[in-house]
Every structure is written in C-alpha cells, then in structure tokens.
C-alpha cells in the first residue's frame, strides 16, 4: 500500500495546488508544499497557528513567518531552479506516513548533469522546528553556488504584518526577527546550515549566505538545515533567544536523530487513527491522505487555537475557524485523539467573551459565536464577503449576522465531546457556561408566533448559503432545539455530579433567561417535520415555492464563471438549488430521530437540487446514503471528498475572492463517510452500534477508536465485526452490531458479532448474533 | 390667471411626455395628449378604467380601446402631419379649466398655407363620449384629403388584448368591436363624422374613410367627430348597440351642446375644489393643473375602480392601484368630493376577497391587500419587479410580499373617510370587515419577542423601498398600531350605532383573533420612538448601523444611470440613503403625537439622506416643513411635486422598465402640501384647525371644503382666517385657528379669526382671537 503522493516532471500551472497537496505541518505551523527555491511569488508560506495581524484597513489574517528553508542553486554562474532552468527530470513527493517532503531535480549544464535532492519535515516532536537534508551530485566537475538562509519576503494576502524586521548573523546562525503590526508580538526565525564538506562562504543579502565550492564529478555533497520559529505567543521567553538556542541544539542532535524522533511521534499518531480499507486501494490511499491532512494541522499542544477552514495552508478565509471544526473535523479527533478534541473545544470556551460581544452587538443575550473566529472570538467575518463580478462592488452577504447555527454547532461539539469521552470536567472548565450562553442567545433570538402558538427561529442563513435570511430553517431549528435540551441536561448533570460547582455557575444566570425559559421554549418550539405525504422536510418556510429548475439548466444561465450564486441577486437564490447539504445534514446529525424512509425521501429529493458548491457537501450525502443502506449511492461522494486536496479540483474563486487552500472539513468528512458512514460506527455515549454498509469493493474496514477513555480495535466487514478491547480499559462497553441486541465488551475481550441475515443459513433468530471469546 | 398649458412648435422628443402633460379624461377613460394623426407608435391611447386583460404569459394590464378620434390629412397628395411635414407653425394647448384639448398647425404646400385646428374633449357629462371639432383653412385652392375613423391598432405594452376584432360601417357609423382575450369582455367603439360642407367619401381600410374635397382659398371648412366607447363592464346591454346609439344621439345634440354640458360639469367640479393662491402665480398654476390631473381620473360614477398609480395615462405599472390612492390622493377627494372618496374606499371593500386570498397564500389570517391591485384585488405585483441592468436578469424585489403596510393604508383610508364625512354607513357596507380582516392579518403577521416582552413587525419593506426586509419599520409599526386601534373603535362604534348589524358582522370572527387578541397586542406593541438624546426615530432596526454616505457621493458610484438603487445589491441598500420619506411620512400622518422638536429633528436628519427617487417623496417634506413652521424649507418640494407632470422631469426607467406616465400621487401630494401643509387645514373629525404657514410670496389660500357633510369656504392668510359656512349645513363645526381655542361655526355663519401673535399689538391675550360675524 502506498503512503506516498508523488509527481514527476515540473508543471508550472500546478505550483499553487501542489502547495496544498504537498503540505507539511505540525499544528503549530504549516509549511506549504513549495520547492526550496520558491519565494512568495509561488505562495511559499510558513503559516503560524493562532497568530493574527491586521494591516491598515485590510482584514485580519494569520501571520506567515519568514522561510528558513530557502535554498537556491547555481552552477558555473547559471541559475538552477525549476522556474529558470528546464530540468532534465523532476520529482516531488510526500511520504505522508512520516510527513516527510522530498524533491529530486536533475539539471543539465554545459558538460554535465547536476542532481539536487532536498528532504524536509516540520517536526512533530519539536513543534518549533523544521529540518532539511539536501544533496548535490554532478556528473562533471563544476563550480556550485548555494544561496541559502532565511527568506524574509513573506507571502501575504493583506500584509505586511511583520514590522521592524531585523536580519542578522550571530555566530553562524541566521536570525530574522520582527514585530507584528497590530498586537506588537515578536516573531523570530533562526536558521543554521551545516555542510559536510568544505565550502567558501560569503554574505548574501540580509540573512542569506552564498556558499560556493568546486564539485567533483561523481561525488555527492550533503548538507543540513535547521530552522526554529518562535513568537511572543509561545511563553518561551525571548523568541529570538529561544529560536537561536533551538537550532544550536538541533544541529548538535543532528538531522537523523531529529527525523527519528519526528517519525516516532508520527507512528504514535497513526497508531491511534489509521483506518485500513481492505479491497479498495484508491479509497485507502485517499482516506489516509485525508487523515494526514488533519494530523498536520491539529493543535495537539494548545487549547488556544482550533483548526481554520483552510488549515494552515495560508491566509485564505482569514485563517479563521468556522463551524467546519465542530461539524466536520471533530468526530475524527473524538474517535482517535480526545486530547486534541478537548483542545478544540477549549478554544471555544476561551473565545466565549468574543461571542458574548457579538451577541450584544446585535442586541441579543448570551453568546453568538463568530462565523469566522480568530484569536479573540470576535467575528472576523465582514458584512461584504464577496465581490460582485458584474459591478466590482462588494456584495452584502449574511454569513456574519444570520448564520446563527454556529452557536448551536459549538454546543453540539462540546456535548459530543462530553458524550464520547465521558470527560464532563470540560463542562466545569467553561463548557457549561458556553452551552447556557448559547441557549440564552437562542432564547433572545427566537420569536413567539401567537397564532401558531410556537417559538420560531426567523431570519437566518442555514448551511445552504445560497438562501439567505430564511425563516425556520430545518437544520437551524433542529440544532437550536438540541441546544436547549443540552442546556437543560447540563443543569441536571452538574447538579448531580458537581454540586459544589453548580450553584456558583448557575448564579451567573440568576436574572434569566435560564431553566424556566428554556423549558418553556422547548415545550412550544417549532422544528419543521416531514411532509406526511411525501416525507420531505421543507428546508425553510416557503422553500417549496421557489423556482424548480434543473441544476444543468441553472448552470446554463451562468454569465461569468466566477459569479456568486447566492446573495440578493444570485442565480440560485430564487430557485430550489442549494449550495450544500442542509436538511440532509440535519438528518445525519439526528439520524436516530428519523426513519429510513424519511432519510431516503429527503436524500432523493435534495440530492439533484444540490450544487455541492461547498466541499462540505458531498460527504454528507455519502453518510446518509450509507445510513439508508445504499453505500454505492454514496461512494462517488466519498471519493470526491477524500480526493479534494489530491486533485485540486475545488472552487478557487467566489466572486473575485481567492479561496484556494486545503480542505480540512472535507478531509474530516471523508473520514466520517468511511467510518461513521460505510463502516457504520455509531456511538451515542452508551452503546457502540456497528451497522456497516460497505461499498461494493470494500471487504473490511479496520481501525482503533477511543470511546469514553477505552481503546477498542474494530474490524468491520459485511457479515462480521470484530471488537478487541484494550486490556487496560477501565470499563466495559455495550456493543450492538447489525441491528442486533447489546453485548458488553469487557476490558481485554475480543468479540466477533455476525450479521444474522448473512448468517441466517446457519441460524435463523432474526437478531444480531454474537459470540464472545473470552480473553485468553 | 392662466388655465392653459400651451406649447408652440413641434418637438418630436416631447411626444411621450406631452402625451401625459396634455392628457384629458373623465375617470371612465383617459385620452393621452397626442395629436390627431398619431398612432400607437406615438403612444396614443384610450385607456379604460378597471378593464384588465392578460395576454399569454405577460402581465395583466389595462385595455386600451381603439382610437375613434384618429384623423390624418393630405393636400394635393402630400401627407400633412407633424411627423411627415415640417409645420410652419404648431401649437398644442390644454384648457384645464374646461378640460378641452386644442391644436393648431400650419403647413406650407406648393402655392399656399394650410391651417388645421382640432379641438376635443372627453365628456365629463357623458362618460362614454369623446367629441372633436376640426377645421381646415387654406390660403390657396387645393384638393384636400381627410382620412378619419377609428384606428384599431392600439398601443399595448403587453398586448394584444383585443381579439376577434371587427371593423365595419353601419349607416355612416364606424364601428369597431372586439373581445378581450382573458375575460372575453366585449369592447366597442362607435364613431361618426359630420361634415358641414360637401365631400366625396370613399372607404379606407377597416373603419377608416377617406374624405376629399376641393378647398377654396380663404374658406374655413369645419367638421365634427363623435366617438363612444362601451365595454362589457358597463351594464349597458350590448356595448356595440349602446355605442352606436350614443354617437347618433350625440350628433343630433351637436358639438356645442355637448361641450356646454361638459363644461357645466367641469364648472361644478371646480366649484368644489378650486384652490386660490394669492401672490404666487406659478404655484397657483401648478396646483390647479395638479387638481385637474386628479379630476380627469377620479371614478365619480363607479365604486368598482380606484385610481391607478399612473392614472389613466396608459398601461404603465399594470394600471394597478397602489397605496398612492389612500395616502396621497384620498385627502383631496375627502375635502372636496366625498362621493368620489367613498367610491375609492368601496373599491377596497369590493376587493377584500383578493386580499384574503393573498393573506392565505402567505399563510396569514385576514386580509393582505395587493401591492398592485387590479379588478379582483389579487396581486398583480410579481416577485421580480425590476431587471438587473448589469445582467439583464429579473431581480427579486420584495414589494409584493413584504410591503405589508398596504393593509394598514387601506384601513387608514377607510377611517379617514368615516372621520371626515361622518358617513359610518361605509363600515356597515363592508368597511368594518375590511378593517377587522386587516387587523387580523397583522395579528398573524406579528411576532412576540419574549425577552423584550413586546409584539414586533418583522421582515417588511416600508415606503423606503431601497431597504427591503427590515424589522420594526417605524412607519409600518405606527400604522399597524393605528389599525388595531381603529379595529377596536369600530367594534365600539358598531355596537353603539348599529346594534342590529354588529352581532352578525362580529360572528364572522367568533373563532378569533378578534377583540381580545387586538387588545393584548396593542398593549404590548412596539413602535420605535424618538431617541431621547437627538430625537431622531430610527427608520427600522439597525438603520443607524448602515453606511453613512452623502447622496452626492452615492450618485458618483452609479455605473449605469438606469441601475436600481434597491434590491439585494443596490447602491443604497447598505447605506442610510432612502428612496422616499418614511419616518417623516409617519410624522405627517400622526402629527398630533409628536412635538415640533421631534418633527424638526427628523426632518433635518432624514432630508439630506432622501434621494426622492419616488414622486411621492418631496410633498411629504413640504408638509412637515410647513408643520414645523418652516414653509420656505418646504416650498421647493411643493413646486417640484406640483410641476412633475408639467416638466416631465421624473424617472422614466427603473432598471430597463419604462415607468413614464402621469403622477396622480404627486398631484394629490401637491394639493396636500398647499392645503394641509401651507394653509394648515387639519380636520380630525371634530375640530377644524387652521394653522397656516404660508411660503414667502403667498398672501392667502382660499378654498371650499366639505367636512362631515357641511360646506365651508376658507380664506386663510398669515394673520387671519375667514370661514364661511353654507347656510344649509346641518351641523355647526368647531374651529380653532392659530393654535387658539375652539369656536363653533354655525350654519350660514362667517367667522374671522385673527392670529394673536400678529394681532398682539392690538390685543395681548396669548390665545387665538376670534370675531364671530353672525349671518346677515
């Protein structure tokens, strides 16, 4: 099985998408999949998690650090780089098992061939460290020049963010320091280059040095680079001193040691989450690659950052955190690495005050989370998110002020965390406050309809952003209902389990609205229900009155390929065509509440009306297809989702706004489709249900999961599932497979559960059949 | 004083606007101010009130009848008409005292000059009749040809509407008949031409005849045309027979008799409403012209039609009735001709079922009146009222579904009628049902805010259509409140005065919502109030958060002069720039509820932010300027309003939609500004208050008014008002002038009331001073 993405030959048209495809990172920083000689023109970026800056009147975005891995060659005075010299051969590859990036390029020069290799990684062991090994080999004697150091000219969308830049050499260490413009935070990058052969060194510009030497034919010349990045957010004292120290230590340890430590952490990470698909190599490859993309951006060590919508692949979407995290990425981490899931949720707790400010700004109570959240939780989203391609004018959109489901998504995420892990300490650590504030927000957002005698949620934008400012969006209302229910359950839970904490927490809300109001609202709350005739749930009030038009017909009306389909005058706005799963997403979230018939009716109704204009959409159709027992309907959606960052075939522009980058939500969605969908892994906090619906070629899915602190290895095939519980699990787990009854899986136990339908020739009992194998 | 609009010379670029400016009509039909030889290319039209037709998938619009006044000349084989021959001189004029249109055109031909005159009128005495007197005079002998008859090629925007057209001559009468496409209603036009000299007649095409004769130098040749129009709506038996009979009778009576009868009715009409302004000829002229425009379209004889937004000047705006009637035209009729006011209100009563259907269509109770109302009261307004000039696509606008104030405007109109006339029989004749159904509509439209503990009106478009889908529009909420109050007062009134009728009427609403709910809603109903600091009332929730931009700056952003400023992406949508008076209109309607300081603060705040993109806007600023004692601020707005159909300087396009025609709402607004504003005539059903604020040059305003059935002649100057009550008035009237105390004006009395401030040199009593002169 391959764990390598590779590409032969250099194609300049792929520079941008390959920057995403070959990305490396470690949650502290992302390093785009660019080549050593690339500069900001090729969108080289070392994007820092959680460090934002605002330059002038432009929008805030993450800070990119100077690129300490920059290296440029020339041979006998002739520049050698893929942009200047047509290489004889070129290969770029990413080993995503170990998160190591490699390139090998062969250049011709008068009299010979020169082969350049570079290997690099962003250390998962030491989060501030990048390291590279580079080699040169020539078939003829020649004079080689290596320009290497720190490239301080960083790519910015709305920069510059680095002010007071200083570049210097200190005892062989290149040091680039700067201060961010808005928050005045220091950013320091240190670099050392270690040559294993004799060189002449002269100073280049700034933190560049020019190394030259006479290369002998047939010899291989190798050198190493060590780069450290620190900022004022790191609590590591002076960032410059810390960076300097770190590269010295790194050089002492040596590249091989560092790589080994890095790979060891990666091995541990994969051991928690690798998901094996038997029978479908393409799916296996794409799924692992998707998981890789999640692992390189996951904040393993910080609860102050979450995962931006474009990961750490640059500054697109302002480096902001969207609902994507809770709804599309969180499930992966909940099942594989609850520490990271906890960090993601703590980020929401730390940004509660920003959400409170936003609610107050709009005249509401409680917490209205940012649609685009950065460090403070204040909303980075503007009221004008898209430019009208016809007039060039900014277009008023209603992402910021009307996509209120974000607060319910946060609550959903926190409650999922508590449910999956059993770690209700998160509630005491701020989670309860978030939940209650979100419920209070919805209470103040809701209106009571005196004729229909019910509370409604008016004037919102649901996940389908092509239809703004709608009433009673089914998805939103269902999540608001869940928020109220969770708010009330948390009251109960804290009263029961944290009687010492509860009164103090509840006292904050003594003036209400609180329990009484939540109960009253819940009792009379409206959530759109399936039509009794055709079982379809109307996406929002009067959706069924919109123009019915085939997607192909709507596409034929497009005048400008970058025109926005939503907004006040968008092509889709007045039609039933939707951007992305909305009702179907709701059915997926609350799958236990709806019959198969309802799910199927809605899938069949909404699928042809869905443009999938968001990379978040197809995976949901895959999930629900699996849920209704039609995995082959879902398979194309799964593959489309799992390969989005491999093919680079996603929307690059909305209006005239560049939106390229990686797609963590799709990566998480691919995992959900494979594991929660096709493998049918469903955990509600009490029972693990395994109801696989594997696509044609899939023989089995095998993966480890952590549920309520216990580790279980699952092997799921059409007719049998095997569950192996770790010996040191503290609790047994109730398991039901193939719709059968529950069986307790004790620590250390290995269960095999058979599909009674498939096994019916052996035994007709109409129930899931199980065989318990006691631990040897 | 001139009563004549006249224009010398022929300017082809003015053909369209002159069609409006020189219009004649009688409420049954409008005849555009075109010339005798004009055809549909020059927008000649005989627009019928209340007869609508839908052709194919196009929108419904009024039917234009064939033009029985068509007349075309040639001399010695040379066609003579302003379009083909450059006339030596040409004059078009309208005597608007008598509603007579004249043209005189002098053509040169080889050897001489030919003078053609044509006079015509749309009879106010016989509503189906048009008549014309035409003459020819040549300075040299020549052979003249007159092509005259009925031009059946009518101008249609979305036609054809006349099917099964038949054209024939019956014993010298030209007869054109047809059937409308949708409702299959017959339309018949009969015409007779009576020559006072010998002619040869040959048949032309269809209902055209060609008359020829040898004209002698110096002789004047005169002939007459009599045209009658009948339709299947007229309850006059066979329309063709009726029309035939009418032209025969007309010819027998003769032109002079008919003209005399016509002028007599006009004299009677003017006696009811002529308003004399002493000291300002321009204002006097423009005001009388405005009144003329109202008189020619007023439905004096039918309670099944109201006044369309473009009067009877063609098919623009679908010939539909808007809120313009109640809010801008009704006051004139209430003060001058309550029978017509009653007809206008009865039209709303007759269309209640359409309003009920519209409410039900949107899931509401009660009556949601049509934004664009035609014969049935169903809404002719589409969801896409404007085309986007940049993409050519229809633009979703929210006139139809969100301009809910229309139902409150209707209630306001009915209640004004009852208040002014004292004729509460209208309530029993259906008015009460309309009022209650509108109140029920608003009860079902409203939402209760559980945190703010109040009912709100959400998601509406107010008069300022540049801001669609807003919450708590001050104007709308204030009118909804008034609707609820009126609904409750009507209950009381009927219980007291119509105890026999009330139980039956109220029984219709036994299931509620009714009194109990109206009371509850009123008690907790939110109407935006003046800010305590700056006294400004926010036009709607979060209006103050919009971009503040100068109107001139916004204009500089215009890319296409026809682009629509509202809608989802309009230039004004996200700014504080408004289309037309909104808060200020509310202050005008409820002037007794707000202090002068509040009115002034809002006038000063909103005026610079108002684009006056509607012809309904400036008059309101004039009214409120007068109300706050600054008539000179208001004077330019008054003049702009009063001359809109004289200058033709109004918007001709919105997007790519032609919206030209006359402006009855502005005509009514001009009257309101002069009489209710500058002259300060305010009647609340009990007391007539006269608080003039005359603009600089105005010495006095003099007019008759009918209040609660009594006739009063008012003469209002800065320091004195005189009121003369008709001797046969049945009741005395309480009058207060210059803010002073009330005095009763008995039948036959003549009062003079002095302005105590101006009169203070004579007598300092701080109160309005009055001198009662008993009837001689």
Query: Are B567 and A568 an interchain contact pair (Cβ–Cβ within 8 Å)?
Result: yes
Query: Are A444 and B459 an interchain contact pair (Cβ–Cβ within 8 Å)?
Result: no
Least CB-CB distance to B458: which of A384, A451, A458?
A458
Can you give the pLDDT at residue A762? 38
Q: What are the E-state strand segments in B153-195?
A: 162-170, 173-180, 186-195
Output the CA angle A164-A166-A169, nearest 5 degrees.
170
Phi, psi of B704 (to 5 degrees): -90, 150
pLDDT reading at A764 higher than 70: no
Task: Provide the pLDDT confidence category of residue A367 given band limits of 50, 70 and 90.
Answer: very high
Q: Taking residues A689-718, what's their average pLDDT?
A: 97
Place of tokens 């009702």: A583
Q: Smallest Cα–Cα separation from A468: which of A623, A574, A627?
A: A574
Tokens of B76: 């010695």
Least CB-CB distance to A443: which of B451, B513, B559?
B451
Give the nearest chain A residue to B513 (CA atoms): A451
Can you give the pLDDT at residue A531? 97
Can you give the pLDDT at residue A78? 92
Place of tokens 């065509």: A577
Q: Taking residues A332-355, what's their average pLDDT?
A: 98
Query: Are A451 and B458 an interchain contact pair (Cβ–Cβ within 8 Å)?
Result: no
Shortest Cα distance, chain A CAs vs residue B594, angstroms: 27
Give the nearest chain A residue to B547 (CA atoms): A383
Least CB-CB distance to A448: which of B383, B388, B450?
B450
Q: Are A275 and A674 in contact (CB under 8 A)?
A: yes
Least CB-CB distance to A391: which of B390, B449, B450?
B390
Number of alpha carbons in the 13 Å side-chain half-sphere of residue B419: 17
Q: Are B280 and B286 in contact (CB under 8 A)?
A: no
Q: Taking residues A390-410, what's their average pLDDT?
A: 96
Q: Mark out the alpha helices in B322-463 (DSSP H runs).
A: 324, 330-336, 338-350, 352-361, 399-402, 405-421, 425-426, 432-445
Give the nearest chain A residue to B470 (CA atoms): A459
Please give the helix or strand (H or E) that residue A703 lies within, else none.
Answer: strand A700-707
Could you read off the pLDDT of B622-674 as tens digits, one per residue? 999 999 999 999 999 999 999 999 998 777 776 667 788 999 999 999 999 99
Could you read off the pLDDT of B504-561 as tens digits, one per residue? 999 999 999 999 999 999 999 999 999 999 999 999 999 999 999 999 999 999 999 9
Residue ranges, chain B, pLDDT below 70: 654-656, 757-776
Query: Are A569 and B469 an interchain contact pair (Cβ–Cβ within 8 Å)?
Result: no
CA–CA gap between residue A598 and residue A591 (Å, rounded):
10
Least CB-CB distance to A396: which of B388, B458, B569?
B569
Q: Which domains does chain B have, with CATH numbers?
A: 4-271 (2.70.98.40), 274-678 (1.50.10.10), 683-773 (2.60.420.10)
Q: Residue A670: exposed, middle, or buried by beta-carbon count in 10 A (0-12, 13-18, 19+)?
A: buried
Query: Are A396 and B573 an interchain contact pair (Cβ–Cβ within 8 Å)?
Result: yes
Distances (CA, A) of A690 to A453, A722, A741: 41, 10, 11
What sign does the CA torsion over A620, A623, A629, A635 have? positive
Shortest Cα distance, chain A CAs vs residue B451, angstroms: 6
Strand order in the sheet with B681-683: B681-683, B687-690, B733-737, B742-745
Q: What are the E-state strand segments in B415-536?
A: 447-449, 454-456
Phi, psi of B487 (to 5 degrees): -55, -40
| Chain A contact residues (CB < 8 Å to B) | 363, 365, 383-384, 388, 390-391, 393, 395-396, 443-444, 446-451, 455-456, 458-459, 469, 471, 513, 517, 521, 541, 557, 559, 567-569, 573-574
Least confident of A292-296, A648-652, B342-346: A648-652
**Mean of per-residue pLDDT scores for chain A:** 95
Q: Mark out the alpha helices in B527-580 (DSSP H runs).
A: 551-556
Contacts of B567 in chain A (CB under 8 A): 568-569
Least CB-CB distance to B567: which of A391, A455, A569?
A569
Q: Are A422 and A391 in contact (CB under 8 A)?
A: no
Can you give the pLDDT at residue A650? 75
Query: Are B451 and A365 an interchain contact pair (Cβ–Cβ within 8 Å)?
Result: yes
Shortest Cα distance, chain A CAs vs residue B450, angstroms: 7
Task: Provide the pLDDT confidence category of residue A616 given band limits of 50, 70 and 90.
Answer: confident
Tokens of B122: 């749309």
The residues of A carrying an active-site annotation are 465
CA–CA gap between residue B170 and residue B175 (Å, rounded):
7
Strand order in the sheet with A710-717: A276-278, A700-707, A710-717, A720-725, A750-754, A769-773
Tokens of A179: 């201060």
Tokens of A710: 């216990």
CA–CA gap between residue B59 and residue B499 (Å, rounded):
45
Give the nearest chain A residue to B445 (CA atoms): A449
Number of Cβ atoms within 10 Å of the Cβ of A88: 12
| Chain B contact residues (CB < 8 Å to A) | 363, 365, 383-384, 388, 390-391, 393, 395-396, 443-444, 446-451, 455-456, 458-459, 469, 471, 513, 517, 521, 541, 557, 559, 567-569, 571, 573-574
Q: Are A20 and A313 in contact (CB under 8 A)?
A: yes
Query: Are B574 and A383 an interchain contact pair (Cβ–Cβ within 8 Å)?
Result: yes
pLDDT reading at A73 higher than 80: yes
Please give the helix or strand (H or E) that residue B232 lies within, else none.
Answer: none
Could you read off the pLDDT of B459-506 as tens digits, one per residue? 999 999 999 999 999 999 999 999 999 999 999 999 999 999 999 999
Predicted TM-score of the model (pTM): 0.94
Preferred mutation among B568, B571, B573, B574 to probe A, highest tally of A CBs within 10 A? B568
Place of tokens 């899938």: A603
Can you give the pLDDT at residue B656? 67
CA–CA gap between residue B562 and residue A320 (Å, rounded):
39
The residues of B carrying an active-site annotation are 465
Give the nearest chain A residue to B440 (CA atoms): A451
The percent of chain B in helix, strand and coil, each rounded to the nearest 5, is 35, 25, 40
Contacts of A387 in chain B (CB under 8 A): none
Least CB-CB distance to B391: which of A365, A390, A567?
A390
CA–CA gap between residue A547 and residue A544 (Å, rounded):
8
Query: Are B458 and A469 an interchain contact pair (Cβ–Cβ within 8 Å)?
Result: no
């Amino acid at each position: 099985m391959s764990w390598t993405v590779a590409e032969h030959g250099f194609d300049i048209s792929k520079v941008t998408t390959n920057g995403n495809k070959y990305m490396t990172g470690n949650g502290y920083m992302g390093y785009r999949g660019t080549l050593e000689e690339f500069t900001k023109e090729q969108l080289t970026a070392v994007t820092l998690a959680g460090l934002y800056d605002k330059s002038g009147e432009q929008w805030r975005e993450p800070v990119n650090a100077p690129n300490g891995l920059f290296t440029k060659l020339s041979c006998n005075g002739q520049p050698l780089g893929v942009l200047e010299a047509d290489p004889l051969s070129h290969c770029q590859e990413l080993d995503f098992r170990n998160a190591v990036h490699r390139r090998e390029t062969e250049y011709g020069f008068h009299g010979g061939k020169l082969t350049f290799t570079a290997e690099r990684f962003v250390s998962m062991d030491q989060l501030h460290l990048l390291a590279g090994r580079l080699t040169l080999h020539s078939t003829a004697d020649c004079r080689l020049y290596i320009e290497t150091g720190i490239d301080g000219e960083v790519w910015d969308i709305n920069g510059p963010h680095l002010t007071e830049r200083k570049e210097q050499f200190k005892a062989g260490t290149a040091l680039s320091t700067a201060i961010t413009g808005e928050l005045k935070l220091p950013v320091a990058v240190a670099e050392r280059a270690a040559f294993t052969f004799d060189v002449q060194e002269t100073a280049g510009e700034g933190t560049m040095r020019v190394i030259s030497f006479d290369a002998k034919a047939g010899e291989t010349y190798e050198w190493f680079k060590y780069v450290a990045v620190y900022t004022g957010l790191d609590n590591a004292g002076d960032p410059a001193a810390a960076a300097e120290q770190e590269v010295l230590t790194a050089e002492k340890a040596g590249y091989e040691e560092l790589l080994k430590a890095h790979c060891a952490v990666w091995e541990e990470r994969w051991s928690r989450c690798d998901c094996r698909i038997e029978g479908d190599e393409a799916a296996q490859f794409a799924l692992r690659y998707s998981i890789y993309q999640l692992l390189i951006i996951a904040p393993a060590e910080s609860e102050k950052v979450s995962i931006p919508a474009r990961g750490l692949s640059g500054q697109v979407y302002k480096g902001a955190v969207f609902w994507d995290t809770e709804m599309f990425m969180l499930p992966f981490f909940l099942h594989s690495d609850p520490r990271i899931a906890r960090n993601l949720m703590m980020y929401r707790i730390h940004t509660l005050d920003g959400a409170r400010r936003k609610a107050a700004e709009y005249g509401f109570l409680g917490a209205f989370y940012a649609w685009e959240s950065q460090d403070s939780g204040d909303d980075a989203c503007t009221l004008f998110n898209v430019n009208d391609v016809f007039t060039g004018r900014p277009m008023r959109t209603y992402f910021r002020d009307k996509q209120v489901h974000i607060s319910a998504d946060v609550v959903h995420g926190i409650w999922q965390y508590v449910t999956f892990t059993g770690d209700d300490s998160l509630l005491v650590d701020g989670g309860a406050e978030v939940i209650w504030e979100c419920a209070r927000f919805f209470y103040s957002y809701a209106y009571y309809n005196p004729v229909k005698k019910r509370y409604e949620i008016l004037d919102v934008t649901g996940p389908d952003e092509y239809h703004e400012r709608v009433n009673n969006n089914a998805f939103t209302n269902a999540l608001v209902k869940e928020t109220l229910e969770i708010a009330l359950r948390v009251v109960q839970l804290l009263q029961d389990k944290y009687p010492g904490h509860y009164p103090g927490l509840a006292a904050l809300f003594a003036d209400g609205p609180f329990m009484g109001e939540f109960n009253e609202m819940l009792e009379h709350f409206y959530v759109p229900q399936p039509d009794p005739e055709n079982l379809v749930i109307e996406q929002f009030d009067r959706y069924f009155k919109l123009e019915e038009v085939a997607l192909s017909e709507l596409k034929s009306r497009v005048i400008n390929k970058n025109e926005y389909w939503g907004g006040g005058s968008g092509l889709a706005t007045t039609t039933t065509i939707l951007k992305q799963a909305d009702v179907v997403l709701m059915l997926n979230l609350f799958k236990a509440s709806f019959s198969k018939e309802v799910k199927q009716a809605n899938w069949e109704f909404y699928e042809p009306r869905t443009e999938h204009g968001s990379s978040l959409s197809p995976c949901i159709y895959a999930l629900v297809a699996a849920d209704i027992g039609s995995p082959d309907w879902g398979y194309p959606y799964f593959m489309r989702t799992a390969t989005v960052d491999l093919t680079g075939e996603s929307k690059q522009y909305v209006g005239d706004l560049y939106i390229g980058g990686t797609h963590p939500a799709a990566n998480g969605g691919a995992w959900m489709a494979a594991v929660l969908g096709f493998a049918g892994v469903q955990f509600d906090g009490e029972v693990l249900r395994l109801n696989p619906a594997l696509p044609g070629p899939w023989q089995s899915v095998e993966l480890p999961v952590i549920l309520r602190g216990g580790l279980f290895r699952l092997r799921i095939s059409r007719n049998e599932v095997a569950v192996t519980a770790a010996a040191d699990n503290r609790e047994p787990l109730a398991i039901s497979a193939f719709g059968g009854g529950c069986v307790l899986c004790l620590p250390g136990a290995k269960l095999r559960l058979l599909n009674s339908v498939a096994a019916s020739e052996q035994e007709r009992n109409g129930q899931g059949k199980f065989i318990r194998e006691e631990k040897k």
